Amino acid sequence: MKRILTGDRPTGKLHLGHFVGSLANRVKLQREYECFFIIADLHTLTTKPEQTSSLKENIYQMVLDYLSIGIDPKKATIYIQSQIPEVTELAVIFGNLTTVPRLERMPTLKDVMRDADIKIPSYGLLGYPVLQAADILMVKGELVPVGKDQVSHIEVTREIARDFNRTYEAIFPEPKPLVGEIPTLPGTDGAMKMSKSVGNVINLSDSPEEVEKKVMSMYTDPTRIRVTDPGHIEGNPVFTYLDAFGSESDREQITKYEELYRTGQVGDIEVKKYLVKVLNNFLDPIRKKRTEYANQPELMEKILKEGTEKARTEAQKTLEEVKKAMKLDYFH
């Protein structure tokens, strides 16, 4: 059975953009692959090294999000990155196979620095893709479900795997990215991407009232002044969300609204109210499962502890192989 590794930084609650970008794929793939889902707390240090006091609560909320959308701890391994010391040792080894110019060419580096208001990258931020490669290759992941903005990071992992295999011994697979059907979801403000740091998100844990408030203030078509003006469907977040989260029974009504909107026969408020209904119908079962797990904190801790122990066992085996291939197994 092929292995998958992916995960998230515990910087806050997960949102609908995470769901369409990767979470929905994870639920499907755990039925067919051996999945490792990493809670990448060490990666949070690359942009917010001083904000560690909130990590424990963020991890708790993230695990709740995972379980509520259908990730099954009986089928998948959920673990905490910082509790696997072997991964940092592997990252040190990989760092010596990676040049600084290669990392400086990462297309996401400038975006991260801009969003976090960082003028000069730290050693950790520049080496983010190297640590990520260690995360993936530690369990010999073969597929990595990601949003399309992370594909370049997986290419670094592939290069590191090739370099190690060529220099020492063929130990690692070259993992392939697996991009979700809708890789990015626009923000409620009309921005190209939903982002926690910007605040233009609808969280998986939002209440019905919060969803309504956010939807009713959503960006739509700025060229449409009156209800009778023809409207644009393309690039309109309201209709993008309807397409992404509408059920089969919603299709006929969504198609009808699209035609009415294009011909100036329906207002934004009516369509938004329908979107509120669609999103809450989608989120209601997620909210129910979230509440069930939140009422069992001891089960949450058990899931994390067992998952981390399993991941560390894999990390230890991989590091043994690596040291043997590099002739660094001095006491064996």
Tens-place pLDDT, residues 128-168? 999 999 999 999 999 987 767 778 889 999 999 999 999 99
User: What's the mean pLDDT in 276-299?
Assistant: 97
**Which residue, 277, 290, 286, is CA-closest to 215?**
277
Which of 179, 159, 158, 185 minimizes the C-alpha distance to 282?
185
> For position 147, what pLDDT does the model report?
65
Contact yes or no for 79/308 (Cβ under 8 A): yes
- The predicted-structure confidence for 1-14, as pLDDT tens digits, reads as follows 899 998 899 988 89
Residue 204 · residue 214 · CB < 8 Å: no
Confidence bin at 291 (pLDDT 50/70/90): very high
Q: What is the pLDDT of residue 72?
A: 97
Would the pLDDT of 182 be above 60?
no
CATH tag for 208-290 (out of 1.10.540.10, 3.30.230.10, 1.10.10.10, 1.10.240.10): 1.10.240.10
| % residues pLDDT > 90 (the chain) | 78
| CATH fold match for the domains 3-185+297-325 and 208-290 | no
pLDDT in tens, 36-61: 999 999 999 998 888 899 999 999 99
> Can you state the angle between helices 85-95 and 297-325, rounded to 10 degrees?
40
Read off the pLDDT of each residue in 114-132 and give the average, rounded to a whole number.
92
At 21, is the pLDDT very low, low, confident or very high (cuts 50, 70, 90)? confident
Superfamily per CATH, domain 3-185+297-325:
HUPs (3.40.50.620)
Residue 107 has pLDDT above 60, yes or no: yes
Count the Cβ atoms, other than its own, within 10 Å of residue 123. 8
Q: What is the pLDDT of residue 180?
A: 60
| pLDDT beyond 70 at 238 | yes
pLDDT reported for residue 148 = 72
Cα–Cα distance, 284 to 300 (Å, whole number):
21
* CA neighbor of 13 nearest in space, from 201, 191, 193: 201
Residue 181 is predicted with a pLDDT of 59
Going from N- to C-terminal start, the domains of the chain cover 3-185+297-325, 208-290
> Residue 287: pLDDT band by 50, 70, 90 thresholds?
very high
